[in-house]
């Protein structure tokens, strides 16, 4: 038996060699006999995996937990945990992963469709299961052969706000607007005033910078330079940063907020930390403005579309948006094409006028 004590640890450690490889781990027990039995079990398991082709089993729940743990510290981590809750609600996650069938995945897809969930969301959920399945296989666990359901994404035209739609949205976000069941602006509680002002200011920054919601909602004052009117924007999703220059109204918003007292963050939650994802008031304003098919991310599309429509190339807009792959920016290419064909028309018109002269 090779159970030993290491350093100041009270627990026994299991250490042995098998097939030229050293194995060592804590038994997490002070009972030597229990540690020795753990060693026997561990060796039996390794022997079965090597010579009998048997692999350790893992449940879907544990596989998803391991995958989410591997993503800790990334922008997607919180969203993954939320998806796990949904999967847990609709699937039997305590069964071994090697018993999971393609039919169960199809049933999950249909259950989400019956709940009215859009295809993109269902695709994200299935992608988490796929990633957990692949991760478990990589770690040497037993996995079944799976065929994941195909999600047909509907082709939709790019949605962005017109100038009129933007004004309607900003009117519905005006912090001093009359609100049903609210007192007049002057009589409102300071917390309510702050919350309404935050939503308005946040939308202005999103419209004029084209940044992702989280990039602006959680930005720190240390990244704001009011002297040269620049924003040193860090993009966690793609792990890059860029210097953006403020429009006049972004400068006005940030100057006002700075004069009101600047802590660590430009936008804060009720505890003084970063705002996080609090978009309910913005989504409500979108509905009140009658803007169908518009989401918070549409503000980013609006910024990019306006740049393209006013002469910037797709490659220039890629730099502004911080896309790592030009294919992502190419969704705006048809707007650039419209500009090019418009210029071509003007060139031909001028040539025709010269020919007639």
CA atoms within 13 A on the CB side of 173: 25
What is the tens place of the pLDDT at every residue in 265-294?
999 988 888 888 888 999 999 999 999 989
Residue 332 predicted with pLDDT over 60: yes
Over residues 144-188, the pLDDT tens digits come to: 888 899 888 766 678 899 999 999 999 999 999 998 888 998 999
Burial of 179 (0-12, 13-18, 19+ CB in 10 A): middle
- Least confident interval from 19-33, 119-133, 210-224, 308-322: 19-33
Dihedral pair phi/psi, residue 104, rounded to 5°: -65, -35
Tens digit of each residue's pLDDT (9 = 90 or more) over 65-92: 999 998 887 767 888 999 999 999 999 9
pLDDT at 1: 56
Cα 253 from Cα 201, distance rounded (Å): 6
Task: CATH number for 163-340: choose from 1.10.630.10, 3.65.10.10, 3.20.20.100, 1.10.443.10.
Answer: 1.10.443.10
Tell me the CATH architecture of domain 60-138: Orthogonal Bundle (1.10)
77-90 and 102-114 helices cross at what angle (nearest 10)?
A: 100
Within 8 A by CB and 6+ apart from 171, the residues are 177, 289
């Amino acid at each position: 038996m090779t159970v030993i004590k290491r350093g100041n640890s009270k627990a026994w450690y299991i250490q042995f060699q098998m097939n030229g490889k050293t194995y060592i781990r804590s038994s997490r027990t002070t009972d030597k006999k229990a540690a020795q039995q753990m060693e026997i079990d561990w060796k039996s398991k390794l022997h079965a995996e090597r010579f009998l082709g048997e692999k350790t089993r893992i449940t879907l729940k544990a596989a998803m937990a391991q995958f989410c743990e591997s993503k800790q510290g990334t922008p997607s981590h919180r969203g993954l945990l939320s998806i796990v809750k949904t999967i847990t609600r609709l699937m039997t996650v305590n069964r071994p992963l090697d018993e999971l069938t393609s039919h169960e995945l199809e049933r999950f897809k249909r259950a989400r469709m019956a709940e009215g969930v859009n295809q993109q969301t269902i695709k994200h959920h299935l992608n988490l299961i796929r990633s957990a399945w692949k991760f478990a296989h990589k770690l040497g666990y037993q996995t079944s052969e799976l065929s994941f359901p195909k999600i047909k994404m509907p082709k939709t035209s790019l949605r962005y706000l017109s100038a009129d739609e933007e004004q309607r949205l900003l009117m519905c976000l005006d912090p001093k607007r009359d609100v049903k069941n609210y007192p007049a602006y002057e009589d409102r509680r300071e917390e309510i005033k702050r919350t309404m002002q935050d939503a308005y200011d946040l939308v202005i920054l999103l419209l004029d910078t084209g940044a992702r919601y989280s990039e602006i909602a959680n930005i720190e004052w240390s990244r704001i330079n009011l002297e040269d009117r620049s924003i040193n924007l860090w993009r966690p999703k793609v792990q890059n940063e860029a210097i953006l220059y403020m429009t006049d109204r972004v400068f006005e918003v940030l100057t006002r907020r700075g004069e009101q007292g600047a802590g660590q963050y430009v936008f804060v939650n009720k505890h003084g930390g970063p705002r996080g994802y609090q978009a309910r008031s913005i989504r409500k304003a979108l509905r009140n403005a009658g803007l169908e098919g518009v989401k918070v991310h549409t503000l980013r599309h609006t910024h990019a579309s306006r740049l393209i429509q006013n002469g910037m190339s797709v490659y220039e807009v890629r730099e502004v948006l911080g896309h790592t792959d030009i294919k992502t920016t190419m969704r705006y290419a048809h707007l650039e094409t419209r500009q090019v064909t418009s210029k071509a028309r003007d060139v031909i018109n001028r040539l025709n006028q010269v020919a007639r002269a």
